[in-house]
Structure 1
Amino acid sequence: MPSTPRIAPAVPVAHGGVSASPVALPRVVIAAPASGSGKTMLTTGMLAALRARGLRVSPHKVGPDYIDPGYHAAACGRVGRNLDAHMQGVERIVPLLLHGATSPEPADVAVVEGVMGLFDGALGRDGFASTAHVAELISAPVILVVDCASTSRSAGALVHGFATFSTAIRIGGVILNNVASPRHEREARAGIAETGVPVLGVVPRRTDVVVPSRHLGLVPAAERAPEAESAVAALATLVGEHVDLDAVLALARTAPEITGVDAWDPVAELRAAGWTSGAHSERGRRVAVAGGEAFTFSYAENAELLEAAGVEVVAFDPLHDSLPANIDGLLVGGGFPEVHAARLSANTTLREQISGFVAGGGVVSAECAGLLYLARSLDDHPMCGVLPVTGRMTPRLTLGYRDAVALAGSVLGPEGTRVTGHEFHRTVVEPAIGASSGETVARAWGWQDSEGERRRDGWITGRVHASYLHLHWAGAPRVAASFAAAIGAGECA
C-alpha cells in the first residue's frame, strides 16, 4: 500500500512557557475523506455536547480557516485556535496545541477538526500541512466521518483504504453521517465491520439542522447570532443522541503523554524575534482591531503577541463605531466587506477618522477585507480612500498557500522579510481611475505561483501595509515584533 511520507513529530523546543514536564492531554482528530462530509457540523455538535457534560473542551482547527473556529468557540465557550504546519511551522504545532489546551485554564480534552480530505495538504508537497500530518505531529487518534448519503456497504472499502494508506496515523473510529434508515445503517456497519475499525456513531439524515453557506463557505457565527446559538444547540442534541461520546473520550485518552515540549509563549517568541521592551512613553500603547460582522477573520495569537509586548488591544465594529481614542495602531483583518459594503460605506464618520489617522502617520496593517476597506471603493460603494485602488467582486476564487517575500520595508518588517501565508477571496483590486503613480509607494509582497510566474500583491504607502495575504503571527513573530516597534511598544533588532 502507498503511504504518506513520515514526518517526525515536533522536536522539543524551549518556548519559555508552561514547564515541559509530561502532559496527559486526551485528544482526538475529526477527519473525513473529503470536504462536504459533515465534519464541521459534527465537530461543533461534539464540542457542545462534551461541554454540556461539564467538560472543559479545547477546540482546534487544522489549516488556515477562520469560520469553523468561530462555531467551535460558540460551542464550547473557548477560543477556537488553528494548527497549520505551513503558516505556523512544524515545530510550533505541539506548543500551540498546549497553549490552547491550557488557556485560560487546563482542558479536559482537545478536539481537532481536520481540513478537506484527511491526506489533502499543500499542493505538490505530499500531504504537508494536511490533517494526517497534524494528527501525526500531535500523536492523536483519528475519527473518520463518512458521508453515507450515496453509499452503504462500500463505506467499508473506503474506511479500509483510509485506515491502511499511511502507517503514520491511526484511524481509531468511524462516524457514519447522513444515514437514511435502519437498513442503510446495517449495510454500512456490515461493510465497516470487516475493517476492524469501530463505529462510534451513526447520525441520521437531517435537513432541519443546517448551517447556511455562501461564496467563501459557512456564514460566520458572528453574523448569525442568535440563530448560530440555536444551530449549535441542535447539533449538540444530534451528536449527543447519535454518537457514543464515552467511546470518543476513551479513544482520546489513548493519545500518549506529550513530553519535552513547552506550551507556546508569546513573550518568549517576541524576544527570540529580536523584540525588546525598550523605553516606554508615559502612557501605554493602544491598537484598535476591527471586528463585528464585517471583519470576523482573526487569529487569537496575533492579539496575544501584541498584548505580550505591553500593547492594549481594543476591538471596534466598523459597521457602527467610531475609531477608538488615543490609538497608536490599527489592524483591519479579513472578513466579508463585500456583503456589508453599503453599511460600511454609510459610516462616513469612521471612514474619515481612518483617513485622518493615516494622514497623521498612523500605523496600519490590513489583510484582504482590510485591503478592500482601505480602498477608494468596493463595488462602487465609497470606502476609506487610503489606497488609490478600487475593489470589486468576481466569480473567480483565489485560494492557496503563499511563500512570500517583502518587496519593500514596512511596518511589518524590512525588505526581504520572508513569510508564509494564504489567500482566500473572490474579489480583485485595481488601480483607481485617475490615480497618480506617486500615490502608491511600493508593492508589498512577491512570490511565485504554482506555474512559476512571479506575482505581486498589496501596497505600502506611508506607515500603511495592506495586502490580500493572511498571516498567522505565531508563525511570523518578527512581524508582530516589527508592528509593536512601529507603534512605539519596544524595539525590534
Structure 2
Amino acid sequence: MRAVVVAAPASGSGKTTVATGLVGALRRAGHRVAPFKVGPDYIDPGYHGLAAGRPGRNLDPVLVGVERIAPLYRHGAQGCDVAVVEGVMGLFDGRIDEHHAGPVAEGSTAQVASLLGAPVLLVVDARGHSQSLAALLHGFATFDSGIRLGGVILNRVGSERHDHVLRAACARVGLPVLGSLPRSAELEVPSRHLGLIPAVEHGMAAREAVTAMTDLVAAHVDLHAIAALARTSVTGPSWDPAAAVRGDGSAHPAEASGRPCASSVHVDREPPLIAVAGGAAFTFGYAEHRELLLAAGAQVVVFDPLHDELPRGTAGLVLPGGFPEEHAARLAANTGLLRAVAEASRQGMPMHAECAGLLYLTRSLDGHPMAGVIDAEAEFGPRLVLGYRDAVALGDSPLWRAGERVRGHEFHRTRLVSSPCAEPAWGWHGSDGERVREGALVGNLHASYLHTHPAGNPEAVRRFVAGATAYARARVTT
C-alpha cells in the first residue's frame, strides 16, 4: 500500500485544495484512493471523502496513541492502491508539550509521515517567493533526517516567469517540482469560524468545489510522478474494531456487512439500537465510531435532529459535534424531538454528547429553546477555544469511570453562560496551571465540549453499548 503525505511550511498554503484535488485526480485516473487527515479535524475529511468515494479518516497520534497509527492506516486503506494523507498546520508543527521528548513534535505531520514511512509533498504558497525559496526548502529538507521530501508543489504562482524562477530555486536544492498551480485559478471555498463549511452542509456546492479542485490538480500536477513516488513502510495487522472492543489484539475479522460481530453480542438477544445525530447540525464524527458500535453489538441508526423524530426503539443516544449555532432556530422548531430527548434522559437512557450535543441539551442556545436536560444556557462566544487536553473523568458515566484519564480536543466558539448545576464530567489543568472543570454528568448522560476519538478509547464504546443493552432490557421487562 503506497502513500504520499501532503504538507506545507505553514497553515494557509493550500494543503486542503491540493490534497482533495489529488485524491480526486488520482481516482479519476483509475486509482483506488484512501484519504486521510493528520490531526483531529472533522471538516477536511468530508471533502476528501467526496473526492475519494469512501470515508475520509483521521490519523492523530495524540488522540489514539502512536501505536495505533499504522493499524488504523492499514484499516482505512483496505481495498485501495494509494493513499493521500493531508497534514496539519506546518510540517513540523504539533502539540506544544514540555514533557514530550520525541524527535518530532507530537501529533505533527512529520511524526505521522515518519510513522508511515511515506514521502512528503511540500505545498508552498509562492506569493512573495523568488530565489530565496531555495533556502526555505533547504531548511525543510535537512531539519529532520527521518523525513523525506519527495517533491514540491508550487501554489499561487503569478506568471510563467515566476514559475521559471521558482523551479530554478527548487532545482538548486535537488527537489523536483511535481506541480505548479497558477494564482489565477485559485479556488474559494466558503468558510466560517472553525474552517471550511462542512461538506454535508455545503451540499451541491461542496461537490462542485471538489470537482474544481480535481480539475485544477489534474491540469497542473504530475500525477504519474506522484503515484510512482508513493511509498510506505507500514507492516503488521490492520486495526480491527471487534478486537478493540474485546480488549485484545487477536485477529478477528470485523463484519463488513454492518452486522454486529457474533462474539460481541449474545445471539438470543436483540441488539440495542443506538441513535446517532447527523445532518447539517451534527457533522463531526469519526468513521471508526460507528464501526466500534457495531462491533460491540449495537444497531446504529443516523437521524437528523432538524426534522426527524427519535428513532423508535432507541436505547442509547449519541449527539456528536457540529455547528448547532448555525441551525438553532430549526433545531428549536422540532419540539417533538426535544421533548422526547428530555423524557428519555429522565428515564435513564444512556447518552453521550460532545460539543454540539452539549449545546443541544442545554436550556437554550442563542435564545432558542433546546432540550433542557442540562441546567445552563449557551451562546456564541467572542473567542475560539482550541487545543488538546489531558483530562480525568470526575465521576462515573455510561462511558467512563471516575479517575480514568483520556486525551481529548476542544474546538468551539460557543460557551455556556452559566455553569451547569451538575457534577462536572472532566477535569484538567490549563496552560497556566489553573484547574478546569468542564462538562456535565446528569443521570446517564455524559456531556462535554471535549471531543475524544473512539479508536483511542474502545472500552468507553463497549460500556456505552452494554448500558444501552441494559436499558433496552429493562424497558422490555417493565
Asked if these proteins are the same fold (TM beyond 0.5), I'd say: yes
CA distance in 1, matches of 2:391, 2:308: 34
- Which of 336, 341, 354 is the matching residue for 1:354? 341
- Which of 273, 277, 281 is the matching residue for 1:290? 277
Kept in 1: contact 2:391–2:426 (CA 8 A): yes
Partner of 2:252: none
- Which of 24, 39, 43 is the matching residue for 1:63? 39
Are 1:267 and 2:242 counterparts?
A: yes
Partner of 2:324: 337
Partner of 2:116: 138
Q: How many residues align?
A: 454
Partner of 2:428: 447
Are 1:173 and 2:151 counterparts?
A: yes
For the structure 1 residues 402 and 452, does the alpha-carbon distance in structure 2 shift closer, same or farther, using more than 3 Å as the test?
Answer: same
Partner of 2:469: 488
Partner of 1:470: 451
| C-alpha deviation, 1:163, in angstroms | 0.6
Partner of 1:44: 20
| Partner-residue secondary structure (3-state), 1:422 | strand
Q: Which amino acid aligns with 2:238?
A: A
Partner of 1:114: 87
Kept in 2: contact 1:294–1:339 (CA 8 A): yes
Kept in 2: contact 1:153–1:189 (CA 8 A): no
Kept in 2: contact 1:404–1:420 (CA 8 A): yes
Partner of 1:241: 219
How many percent of aligned residue pairs carry the same amino acid?
56
- 1:57-206 map, 5 Å: 57-102=33-78, 106-124=79-97, 125=100, 127-206=105-184
Which residues of structure 2 form unaligned runs of 5+? 250-260, 472-478
Q: Which amino acid aligns with 2:276?
A: V
Partner of 2:232: 255
String of CA shifts for 1:63-111, please: whole Å, max 9, x gaps.
0000000000011111000000000000000000000001xxx101011
Partner of 2:474: none
String of CA shifts for 1:184-237, please: whole Å, max 9, x gaps.
101111111111011100000136621111111111111111011111111111
| Partner-residue secondary structure (3-state), 2:425 | strand
Partner of 1:211: 189
Kept in 2: contact 1:39–1:113 (CA 8 A): yes
- Which of 365, 390, 396 is the matching residue for 1:378? 365
Kept in 2: contact 1:146–1:155 (CA 8 A): no
Partner of 1:420: 407
Q: Which amino acid aligns with 1:487?
A: A
| C-alpha deviation, 1:480, in angstroms | 1.0
| Partner-residue secondary structure (3-state), 1:470 | coil
CA distance in 2, matches of 1:156, 1:282: 65
Which residues of structure 1 form unaligned runs of 5+? 1-24
Kept in 2: contact 1:407–1:444 (CA 8 A): yes
Kept in 1: contact 2:155–2:183 (CA 8 A): yes
| Partner-residue secondary structure (3-state), 2:118 | coil
| C-alpha deviation, 1:282, in angstroms | 3.9
Kept in 2: contact 1:310–1:489 (CA 8 A): no
| C-alpha deviation, 1:454, in angstroms | 1.3
String of CA shifts for 1:299-318, please: whole Å, max 9, x gaps.
01011101001211100011
Partner of 1:16: none
CA distance in 1, matches of 2:136, 2:281: 40
| Partner-residue secondary structure (3-state), 2:325 | coil
CA distance in 2, matches of 1:142, 1:208: 22
| C-alpha deviation, 1:255, in angstroms | 3.2
| C-alpha deviation, 1:279, in angstroms | 5.2
CA distance in 2, matches of 1:357, 1:338: 23
CA distance in 1, matches of 2:316, 2:265: 18
CA distance in 1, matches of 2:350, 2:418: 22
| C-alpha deviation, 1:278, in angstroms | 6.4
CA distance in 2, matches of 1:427, 1:207: 35
For the structure 1 residues 281 and 327, does the alpha-carbon distance in structure 2 shift closer, same or farther, using more than 3 Å as the test?
Answer: farther
Kept in 2: contact 1:61–1:112 (CA 8 A): yes
| Partner-residue secondary structure (3-state), 1:443 | coil
| C-alpha deviation, 1:414, in angstroms | 1.2
Q: Which amino acid aligns with 1:449?
A: G
Q: Which moved more, 1:27-36 or 1:412-421?
A: 412-421
| RMSD (CA atoms) | 1.7
CA distance in 1, matches of 2:292, 2:82: 25
| Partner-residue secondary structure (3-state), 1:150 | coil
String of CA shifts for 1:38-83, please: whole Å, max 9, x gaps.
0001110110111111211000000000000000001111100000
String of CA shifts for 1:391-423, please: whole Å, max 9, x gaps.
111121110001111000001121111111100
Partner of 1:53: 29
| Partner-residue secondary structure (3-state), 2:398 | coil
| Partner-residue secondary structure (3-state), 1:362 | coil
TM-score (norm 1): 0.89
Bigger RCO (CA 8 Å, 6+ sep): 1
For the structure 1 residues 180 and 421, does the alpha-carbon distance in structure 2 shift closer, same or farther, using more than 3 Å as the test?
Answer: same
| C-alpha deviation, 1:283, in angstroms | 2.1
Kept in 2: contact 1:30–1:43 (CA 8 A): yes
| C-alpha deviation, 1:356, in angstroms | 1.3
